Amino acid sequence: MSTRSKKDGKKLEALDRLVEEITVDAYGDDEQLWAFRQAFEDDVALPADGFVIGEPVSVIAVDYDGNERRGLTANCRREDGSEYVIAVSEVVLPQASAGARYIAAYRRWLNLEPYPADAKKLSRRQRQQKATDDDIDLSKPVGLVALSVKERAARCQLLGSNRIITLRASRLWEVVPGAIVTVKPGKQWRYGGHPYLSGDIQSTRIDVKALDLVPLGLEEMGMWDPNEEYWGEEDEPIEEWAKPIIAHGPRPMFEMEQVLPGEDPDDPFNDPITRSNDLKDAGERVEAKKILMELCQADLRCLDAHSHLGNFVFDHHPQDAIRHYDVGLRIGELSLGDDFTGVLAWGLIDNRPFLRCMHGYGLCLWRLGRFDEAAHIFEKMLWLNPSDNQGVRFLIDEVKAKTAWEDRENE
């Protein structure tokens, strides 16, 4: 059974336990529906931002009127202020929220798919919630998550919510998608129906765990056996970096989920990353970068967008490039946890965005003279991908010797 299948099984088991917990003292459908209604009232904070068929709404109440055929209903408010009532099972809430878990349990009780595939697809193309005037207190610093960045403006999300706003501020060159920005607000306004905020950036930081992202999935792909790998000719000594990897023996091999909004599954050679690279090669750098920023805005878990944004500025501005790679690396690490001992082989294509972020991050550390950190990253890369398709084994000795980037032998 794959890791993804095991995780799906554990999710269903957890939902069954939640359903049992909610309905344990309820008998018959009517009592159990009242129990679900009470559980939503007790454990789900409302109003909550959500979506109904891709339309952004605010779910302001969950109710049950005694009609068993109708079941639980949600009172929803559109952006224009109008309200309507719909079945709770039709509402989509952010995946990581408590409300989403309770809706999944309710759908499970209804014998419906708790996490319908069409809802997952919908979440990638749905319009985003817009910040309102009441969401921001202009007298206090505001925490924003950058989603995409232009020269004079950044599309952001309010920290701790899904609501978006456009920030106009100086020092935006320090901001990358996925960074958390603390702003001293100045003015808030709307133009063309979209909310804007001006202010002074007080600080930026990278704290991926604070973003409440759903970790990328890991699918088990069998066992990796060092005895089946090529470690050089028989009469040649084993390189030092390889000895502990070989001694550890076989390990499970995984492929990381790749998120690529706008990808055409029927045409693998016509995806957004390819289009961006083609534009970059043609000298259309602004348009190429725009595509990558739009990918981050659609889903910050698009690791390839972060790695290619880093590549844009790597040659001349490693201090800027490292921030892009860092975000991609940390998002990928959410899936691995602290005790991951498996292999992420380069030959499994969907692992490459994460490995590219790690490689770029390590190279920037080296360029910036952070030798110990760079050596640690390169050692980790060799552990994760012992076939070393990125050539880290040719660099690690120079890094450990604290050879300056400008003095490297493999220039």
Poorest-confidence range of 122-131, 173-182, 324-333?
122-131
* Long-range own/partner contacts, residues 208-214 (CB < 8 A, 24 or more apart): 208/178, 208/327, 208/330, 208/331, 208/333, 208/334, 209/334, 210/159, 210/180, 211/145, 211/178, 211/180, 211/300, 212/94, 212/96, 212/160, 213/96, 213/300, 213/301, 213/331, 213/334, 214/95, 214/96, 214/301
Q: What CATH number does the domain containing 254 carry?
A: 1.25.40.10
Q: Is residue 275 part of a domain?
A: no
Q: Which residue has the higher pLDDT, 33 or 81?
A: 33
Instruction: Look at residue 1 and tell me whether its pLDDT is greater than 50.
Output: no
Place of tokens 């099972």: 89
**Do 314 and 232 belong to one domain?**
yes
Count of domains observed in the chain: 3
Instruction: Look at residue 215 and tell me whether its pLDDT is greater than 50.
Output: yes
What does the pLDDT look like over 36-84, one tens digit per residue?
Answer: 999 999 999 898 888 888 788 899 999 999 999 999 999 999 878 899 9
How far apart are the C-alpha atoms of 258 and 233, rounded to whole Å? 36
* Long-range own/partner contacts, residues 37-42 (CB < 8 A, 24 or more apart): 37/62, 37/63, 37/64, 37/72, 39/102, 40/72, 40/88, 40/99, 40/102
The partner residues of 48 in beta bridges, in order of sequence, read 59
What does the pLDDT look like over 235-267, one tens digit per residue?
Answer: 788 888 999 999 999 999 999 999 988 766 666
Winning range, highest mean pLDDT, from 22-31, 84-93, 322-331: 322-331
Q: Is residue 24 part of a domain?
A: yes
**Do 84 and 170 belong to one domain?**
no
Q: Is residue 346 part of a domain?
A: yes
In this structure, what token pair is assigned to residue 333? 């690490």
- Alpha helix stretches (DSSP H) within 110-212: 117-125
In this structure, what token pair is assigned to residue 35? 């129990």
Check: CB of residue 212 under 8 Å from CB of residue 96.
yes
How far apart are the C-alpha atoms of 4 and 335, rounded to whole Å? 12
**Do 237 and 180 belong to one domain?**
no
Check: CB of residue 46 under 8 Å from CB of residue 61.
yes
Name the domain boundary from 176, 205, 234: 205
Q: Domain span at residue 179?
A: 135-205
Q: Is residue 93 part of a domain?
A: yes
**Could you tell me what percent of the chain has a pLDDT over 70?**
92
What angle in degrees, to the nearest 10, is found between the helix axes of 3-23 and 98-109?
80
Instruction: Look at residue 104 and tell me whether its pLDDT is greater than 80.
Output: yes
**Do 250 and 369 belong to one domain?**
yes
Name the domain boundary from 125, 148, 173: 125
pLDDT, residue 411, reads 56
Q: Is residue 271 part of a domain?
A: no
In this structure, what token pair is assigned to residue 44? 């789900």
Q: Please tell me whether residue 185 adopts helix, strand or coil conformation.
A: strand
Integer-rounded Cα Rg, in Å, for the chain is: 24
Q: Is residue 237 part of a domain?
A: yes
**Do 314 and 353 belong to one domain?**
yes
**Do 368 and 303 belong to one domain?**
yes
pLDDT tier at 127, thresholds 50, 70, 90: low
**Do 199 and 92 belong to one domain?**
no
Q: Is residue 377 part of a domain?
A: yes
pLDDT, residue 79, reads 79
Q: What CATH number does the domain containing 172 carry?
A: 2.40.50.140
Name the domain boundary from 85, 107, 125: 125
Q: Is residue 273 part of a domain?
A: no
**Do 380 and 242 belong to one domain?**
yes
pTM for the model? 0.79
Residues 6+ apart with CB under 8 A from 212: 94, 96, 160
Give 198-266 as a DSSP string: EEEEEEEE--GGGG-PPPPPEEEEEEE-GGGS--S-TTSPPPGGGHHHHHH--EEEEEE----TT--TT
Please give the biggest Cα pair distance in the chain: 80
**Do 62 and 148 belong to one domain?**
no
pLDDT tier at 174, thresholds 50, 70, 90: confident
pLDDT, residue 124, reads 44
The partner residues of 74 in beta bridges, in order of sequence, read 62, 86
Tell me the pLDDT of the chain averaged across its residues. 89
**Do 318 and 345 belong to one domain?**
yes
**Do 235 and 361 belong to one domain?**
yes
**Do 87 and 231 belong to one domain?**
no
**Could you tell me what percent of the chain has a pLDDT over 90?**
70
pLDDT tier at 186, thresholds 50, 70, 90: very high
pLDDT, residue 6, reads 54
Residues 6+ apart with CB under 8 A from 5: none
